[in-house]
Each structure stands twice: as C-alpha cells, then as structure tokens.
Amino acid sequence: MGKLRIFLADDHAVVRAGLKTLINAEKDMHVVGEAADGREATQRIPDLAPDVAVFDVSMPELNGAQATRQVKQVCPEVKVLALTVHEDRSYINELLAAGATGYLLKRAAAGELINAIRAVAGGGVFVDPRVAGKLVGHLVPGAAALSVDLSKRETEVLRLVAKGHSHKEIAAQLEISLKTVETYKARSMEKLRLRSRVDIIRHAAEAGWLGAA
C-alpha cells in the first residue's frame, strides 16, 4: 500500500515544520502540501488530493471549521483532523458539524497525533480523550433516555455515518443503493430523535461504536 498523503494548515511556520518532520518520520505517511491559512488550504487541497488534512482551528482568512466545510463540499473523501488548543465543547461541535472526524489538542503527545491521523484515515473518528467527555452525555434533550431498537441495517448505516464515511462509501460497503442508505439514516435518526451529524457522533460515542472496527 502507498503512503498516507497528509496536508498541513497552520498559520505558524514553526508548528508546520515540527508537524512535517514528525509525520515524515513515519514509514506509512508523508506530507504532500502545506498552507498558512484556511483559504490557501481550500485552494490547494483539490489538486493535491491528500488522504488527511490536519487543520489548525484558529487560522486567518478562513478558520478551521470554515475551511473544513469548504473542503468537504469539494473533496468529501478527504478526512479532516482538527488540531487546536481549544477545549470548549462549542469548538468540538462546530468542527464535527463542519465534517471533521478528528479533534486533537495541541498539547497531545507526538504519538497521539500519529494515531489520530491513522484513525481518521481508516474511516474512524478520533476525539482527544481529554475532551471526549464533553461529547458523551450531551445528546439531544430526551434522546439519552430513549430505549430504541434499531434494525441491523439501520445500526450499520448510522455507525458508518458517525465514523465519517460518505453515503457513497456506505452504499458500496454494504452493497445497497444510495437511496437506501439515506432511508436507513433518516429512519434511525427519527427513531433516536437525532437532528444533526454531531448528534449522531454523540450517540455513537455513548453506544461504543467509535472504537469498533
């Protein structure tokens, strides 16, 4: 298999240099491009087609959430890992709602960054353990108390959505049509009273799906 292609966006050159050195030291990944702000990142990523984009949350021009939203609209297959100093739940919600599937604090150890990149690249969700508790236990009001039986297919679809897979990827993996994927997702969200992708990820965290293969 080829190396994972990583893109870095951070307005601090020293931080980018450190991340690049760390990532390029791994045998299974390398940095294919960099940007000093969110707008530059959204302009360069379509041509470079990285597997994972590591975005600082607080960037000039476009912040991490804005850049993530634009990148996911144009290149939905690119996985986004947010790297930040912010631990507030509002930041986590905003990034996950924009389409990021990873959220890591900058004070994390080097090994945690590498693990987070591999996790999101593999279709998983990675939330820094120091802030994960801000997701779990904060479901839509009333949802946590629901005792709902989802069908096997509804559970499979919702779990894959929570882990960052696109509807097209889910359809291919489960060998069903796009319309069927959308139907299962809508039905399960209605049963669980979930209103957004962030709610789906919160439910997945409580259900223990995010660590599943």
Q: What are the structure tokens assigned to 13, written together? A: 């050159």
At 145, is the secondary structure helix, strand, or coil? Answer: coil
Q: Which of 88, 104, 132 is the last residue of a domain?
A: 132
Q: Does residue 186 lie in a domain region?
A: yes
Taking phi over 0 as left and psi of -120 to 50 as alpha, with beta for the rest, 193 belongs to left
Strand ranges of the sheet holding 79-84, from the earlier edge strand across to the other edge: 29-35, 4-9, 52-56, 79-84, 102-105, 126-127
> 44 in a domain, yes or no?
yes
What pLDDT score does 50 carry?
A: 96
So what's the pLDDT on residue 90?
78
Amino acid, res. 170:
I
Is 202 in the same domain as 111? Answer: no
DSSP letter, residue 175 = T
For residue 90, give its domain range.
4-132
First to last CA, the chain: 19
pLDDT at site 6: 97
**Is 114 among the domain residues?**
yes
Give the separation between CA 4 and CA 31, rounded to whole angstroms. Answer: 8
- The reply to whether the predicted model has a pTM over 0.75 is no
**pLDDT tens for each residue of 29-43:** 999 999 999 999 999
Note whether 172 and 104 are same-domain residues: no
> What pLDDT, on a 0 to 100 scale, did the predictor assign at position 24?
95
Count of structural domains, the chain:
2
pLDDT value for 138: 43
Shared domain for 43 and 104, answered yes or no, is yes
Under-50 pLDDT residues of the chain: 137-147, 212-213
* Statement to judge: residues 197 and 116 lie in one domain: no
